[in-house]
Amino acid sequence: MTAKRPISILAAVVAAAVFSAPQVSRPEAQAASTAFVGVNVLPMDKDAVLADQTVVVSDGKIVSVAPAAKAQVPAGALKVDGKGKFLMPGLGELHAHIPGGKSPDADVERTLFLYVANGVTTIRGMLGDPRHITYRERVAKGEVIGPMIYTSGPSFNGDSAKTPGAAVEMVVAQKQAGYDLLKIHPGVPRDAFDAMAAKADELKIQFAGHVPAAVGLMRALEAKYRSIDHLDGYVEAMVPNPAGSQTFGVNLAAQADESRIPALVKATVAAGTWQVPTEILLVNWLNDENPESMAKWPEMKYVAPETLAKWVAQKQGFSAKFPQADRQKLLALRRKLIKALHDGGVPFALGSDAPQTWNVPGFSAHRELGAIVAAGLTPYEALRSGTANVGTYFGTAATTGTVAAGKRADLVLLDANPLTDIGNSSRIAGVMINGRWLSKADIDKRLADGK
């Protein structure tokens, strides 16, 4: 059985992980137009750099992208010097979390700003709460600085969806409440899952997430999950009688029959099911890096000390519980799966599972990009999973995901080219969220003011 992370623990992590990001208030007014002058554009509809362009933004949309020598900049526009810099679409984090429950509003807004500060301009929340629907609307209205929010409802799991009747009631309630999708966690019985899937199809609401052990990968694909997250179920599908799976199959990886990979790729393509691998989550859990060193990463200053101590202890526990050979085998197998699925035509979307152990909102999206490149994707392919692919996933490709006239102005200005080195994706000179420009100085000030 795929290991289950207790819902209460995950909720606590989401609520407590970040503690020193800024207080966020309604954005103040800016100039009617903004022009990025002389910038190198990464349009992300192709693997290319458009050199020395001027990109004009007005009323939250890109008005024009033209060679700097020919571009017309509106009078009174805010001019951003783009010389030597690179402008790309904002990133989507499709396995994100937002504090819920009784978390103070400040915690929610801190988390949302951390995403934006790192160029994440769209998120798919994967552990929903009624408050997230309210924040979805507040962000859309510009009352709070945050990424565009899509959100699941509370998860279907072994406690909440024990019976077909309970599962159906949850589907109806979440559809009526206005959630964007259903989140599946481990533990859902097969009959309850089947009832959930049938009702979700009837009501036209998508479902995504984990693959419960009683369901299994092939049934999940047959049911047409919108996305399978964490590569959940794939290792188990490569092992005869995969009883007792732990931590996404770390104890089973040595038994996996890799000759089954092509068939799994073919079945995934046929189902049209996306992958959100959250590779950095497993890398952080299972690699040999010293957790005491990880605790000194720059972004860990945004993590509560007591939470960070738990993360260190968890990683130490994984290292003690699972032999190094098993951990390395699983990580190698996951890299092979990612490469095979991607090369076979399975669509990928960026996601890191933030906030979760070692994954600080926004920062972890860039670490995920690095992990995906380490698995064999090119920097362009990795970046596309967080830009153009996000528009395709949500059916908004006409208005989001690339840099072109008419698109929503969610943009990231970088100091160096991420197509030549994926690590440059985190060298952020500023972020534009729905037409609102936040320079690096603005971002740093808001982060500092929140301490």
The predicted-structure confidence for 108-135, as pLDDT tens digits, reads as follows 999 999 999 999 999 999 999 999 999 9
CA–CA separation, 444 and 451 (whole Å): 11
pLDDT of residue 388: 98
Q: Is the pLDDT of residue 12 over 60?
A: no
Q: Which residues share a beta bridge with 50?
A: 41
Mean pLDDT value across residues 401-430: 98
List CB contacts of 261: < 8 A, sequence separation 6 or more. Answer: 238, 336, 337, 340
- Cβ–Cβ under 8 Å, residues 358 and 364: yes
For residue 187, what are its two tokens?
């533990």
CA–CA separation, 94 and 126 (whole Å): 8
For residue 195, what are its two tokens?
């009832």
- 3 state DSSP class of 417: coil
- 3 state DSSP class of 189: coil
Smallest CA-to-CA distance from 246 within 315, 312, 318 is with 318
Sheet holding 274-276, edge to edge: 181-184, 206-209, 227-229, 274-276
Mean pLDDT value across residues 333-358: 97
Mean pLDDT value across residues 55-81: 97
- 3 state DSSP class of 68: coil
CA–CA separation, 294 and 311 (whole Å): 10
Mean pLDDT (the chain, rounded): 94
Residue percentage of the chain with pLDDT more than 70: 93
Smallest CA-to-CA distance from 377 within 351, 412, 340, 402 is with 340
CA–CA separation, 82 and 239 (whole Å): 52
CA–CA separation, 63 and 435 (whole Å): 11
Over residues 16-30, the pLDDT tens digits come to 555 444 344 444 557
- 3 state DSSP class of 394: helix
CA–CA separation, 239 and 249 (whole Å): 10
CA–CA separation, 429 and 82 (whole Å): 10
For residue 409, what are its two tokens?
């102005």
pLDDT of residue 284: 98
Mean pLDDT value across residues 328-350: 98
For residue 165, what are its two tokens?
């009747």
CA–CA separation, 267 and 165 (whole Å): 30
pLDDT of residue 384: 98
Q: Which amino acid is at 153?
A: G
CA–CA separation, 222 and 243 (whole Å): 21
Over residues 221-258, the pLDDT tens digits come to 999 999 999 999 999 999 998 889 999 999 999 999 99
pLDDT of residue 20: 43
CB atoms under 10 Å from CB of 325, counted, come to 10
Q: Report the greatest alpha carbon distance in the chain.
A: 69
CA–CA separation, 234 and 399 (whole Å): 34
- Cβ–Cβ under 8 Å, residues 420 and 432: no
pLDDT of residue 72: 94
Give this prediction's pTM: 0.94
Backbone dihedral angles phi then psi of residue 416, each to the nearest 5 degrees: -150, 165
- Cβ–Cβ under 8 Å, residues 261 and 235: no
For residue 403, what are its two tokens?
């840099």
Q: Report all structural domains of the chain as residue ranges with CATH numbers, in order of start.
A: 7-21+90-402 (3.20.20.140)
- Cβ–Cβ under 8 Å, residues 416 and 424: yes
Q: Is the pLDDT of residue 15 over 60?
A: no
- 3 state DSSP class of 121: strand
**Chain mean position to CA 20:** 21
